[in-house]
Structure 1
Amino acid sequence: MDIKTMSQMIKASYSSLSPGQKKAAEFIMEHADEAVLLTAFQVGRNAGVSETTVIRLAYALGFSGYSQMQDRIRKDWLAGKQQDGDENSPSIENAAEENLFRRVIDQERKILRQLLDQVDERELWKAIDALIQADRVYVGGFGSSFAAAYWFYYTLKQIRGNVHISSPNGFLPEDVCDLTEQSAVVIFSFPRYRKETLKLASFAEREGSKIIAITDRQLSPIGQMAAVTLTTDEHMDSGHHSIASVISLLEVLIAGIQKQDHEKIAKRQQELEILYADQELFIE
């Protein structure tokens, strides 16, 4: 029995898809090389639709969820790459570019494997519990660390309330004056370390808030001050910091929060979907 490719499945179901699902499907067909690495949220953002729409597309095509659909995308993409390799002898220039790509991906693979080995699950669950129980969560990230901090802030805000974030250049006293002993402060700090992280940590420490550090090593400046320190590519001599390892670690935290607090999260997301629909935020 022939197994349909992703392209064939989309074509067969295209006429019955919603406008938003069609946009997501078109993005996947045109950018399969990107889709193999993207989360449902990222696919939706690139396609101009919601994460929910991407997940509904997976259901509409007969998959059990987004993960299974992405596996099919990945298999089709790899099969296409293999066929291209069989049919075309690469030039020296193309071979050099492919080697560069392979080196980068291999390095990321090593970092993610190291992340799997080094993460302390007990510390992860401490962080997850703190983020669920906190009356207020403040996320701090400065300079280049702000990118990961904002991703976490935006994602966390979808599943709980009272989440706030610094600017890339610092934080205002008015933003942190309401921190309490029941609050959690998540601070991102990667080389080169910014002084603002220590100022924020000192303020949070004075208020008795729990500090969760997301950093590259246990003994980084912020790592030494935090109640919980979660590290990414510790012991890896990569020459640069891997954003992939940071996002992977954050996705684990988000998944843990969703597992532990799913009833409250489901209610919040239902309320958000109503607001999104009322304000017509998404083009779908």
Structure 2
Amino acid sequence: MSTRYPDTVRLLTESFSGLTPELQKAARYMLEHPEEVGLNSMRTIASGAGVKPATVSRLSRSLGFDGYEALREPFRERLRKNEPHFASKLQDVQRRSLGDSEGLFAELREQEIANVERTLSDENYAAMVAAAETLHRCRRVYVLGLRGAYAPAFLFHYAYQLFQENSLLVDTHAGIFADQLRGISEEDSLLVISFPPYTQLTIDAVEYAADAKAKIVAVTDSVVSPAASSAGHTIVTQNRSASFYHSFTGALAVVQALITLLVAKKGGDAVSIVQEAEKQLSKISAYW
């Protein structure tokens, strides 16, 4: 049995007419929502398709797979191999800028403003308030963002540690990524920032934290993002860009919002803690 995604789609398509109506409902859903198949369990897919989990299992076996997980694997592999195509996007930016740099700049400005407006929307307000409450109440805040997402993750950690002392920035320095997660538990939170193409280490950390029953706050591009698979709070932010590289303006806006909400919750203690931090930084001449 082929485990290639194109072969699996072809098999679903060619077998469709011979399936029962219930199996067709499941097959149609899988063909129309390949990302969700790659990310979700059989029960979730069955719910989305409006069928029973046993129907999805029967579909898998009727196509020659051992079960749903075997059928799902090509969809998962497709997500893992979803390349960012930065080079082709860069070429497109260069092509569009020929003779019209002003137009390209205007397009970039409009897109970045739209990213912030959609991110700081009324729809996200409740999620941010709830996430801030969870972070405020936990024993320790683990902060994770790798590759491009490292910048907003570092900004959160840096600003947060000015008035709180319970954050830990999880990174890959010195090869101790796994060591930094040791001890995470249900008393803690993991703030994870991740966008396509999702970094494998980030997803591994989310799964590890979920197994430890830590409370997960995900800042990502979709509620079906693998970073949000076990999240108690998911803050969806736009990362579209007129440039060749995806935008982190929305993620930075979320960080600013969370920090503002958290420092407000800290109350008067935050003022004295920040004053002490300022004295310490001044004493060692941190600023020019």
Deviation per CA, 1:92-116: give whole Å up to 9, x if none.
x997222121110011122222223
Checking the alignment, whether the CA contact within 8 Å between 1:233 and 1:241 is kept in structure 2 is no
**Counterpart amino acid of residue 207 in structure 1:** A
Match of 1:135 in 2: 139
Structure 1 residue aligned with 2:183: 178
1:264 aligns with 2:269: yes
Q: Note the 1:9-158 alignment, pairs <5 A.
A: 96-117=100-121, 119-158=123-162
**Structure 2: how far apart are the matches of 1:124 and 1:171?**
30
Describe the SS at the equivalent of 1:120.
Answer: helix
The count of residues paired between Structure 1 and Structure 2 equals 190
Alpha-carbon distance in structure 2 between the residues aligned to 1:262 and 1:226: 27
CA contact (8 A) 1:181 1:210 kept: yes
Q: 1:255 aligns with which of 243, 254, 260?
A: 260
Gap runs ≥5 in structure 1 = 1-92
Which SS does the other structure have where 1:204 is aligned?
A: helix
Extract structure 1 runs of 4+ deviating beyond 4 A. Answer: 168-171, 236-240
2:285 alignment partner AA:
E
Q: Return the alpha-carbon distance in structure 1 between the equivalents of residues 116 and 107 of structure 2.
A: 14
User: Does the CA contact (< 8 Å) of 2:120 and 2:254 recur in 1?
Assistant: no
How far apart, in 2, do the equivalents of 1:112 and 1:272 lie? 30
How far does residue 220 in structure 1 lie from its aligned partner after superposition?
0.6
1:187 aligns with 2:192: yes
Deviation at 1:229, TM superposition (A): 0.7
TM-score (norm 1): 0.61
- Cα distance in 2, alignment partners of residues 117 and 126 from structure 1: 15
Q: TM-score, normalised by structure 2?
A: 0.60
Superposition deviation, residue 122 in structure 1? 2.1
Which residue number corresponds to residue 232 of structure 1?
237
Q: Are 1:220 and 2:204 matched, yes or no?
A: no
Q: Secondary structure at the match of 2:222?
A: coil
Give the 3-state SS of the residue equivalent to 2:226 in structure 1: coil
Alpha-carbon distance between aligned partners in 2 of 1:205 and 1:261, rounded to the nearest angstrom? 27
The answer to whether the Cα contact below 8 Å between 2:145 and 2:192 also exists between their aligned partners in 1 is yes
For the pair shown, the structure with the greater C-alpha radius of gyration is 2
**Percent identical:** 23
Letter paired with 1:281: A
Q: CA deviation at 1:212?
A: 0.6
The letter for the 2-side match of 1:114 is R
Measure, in 2, the Cα distance between the counterparts of 1:114 and 1:121.
Answer: 11
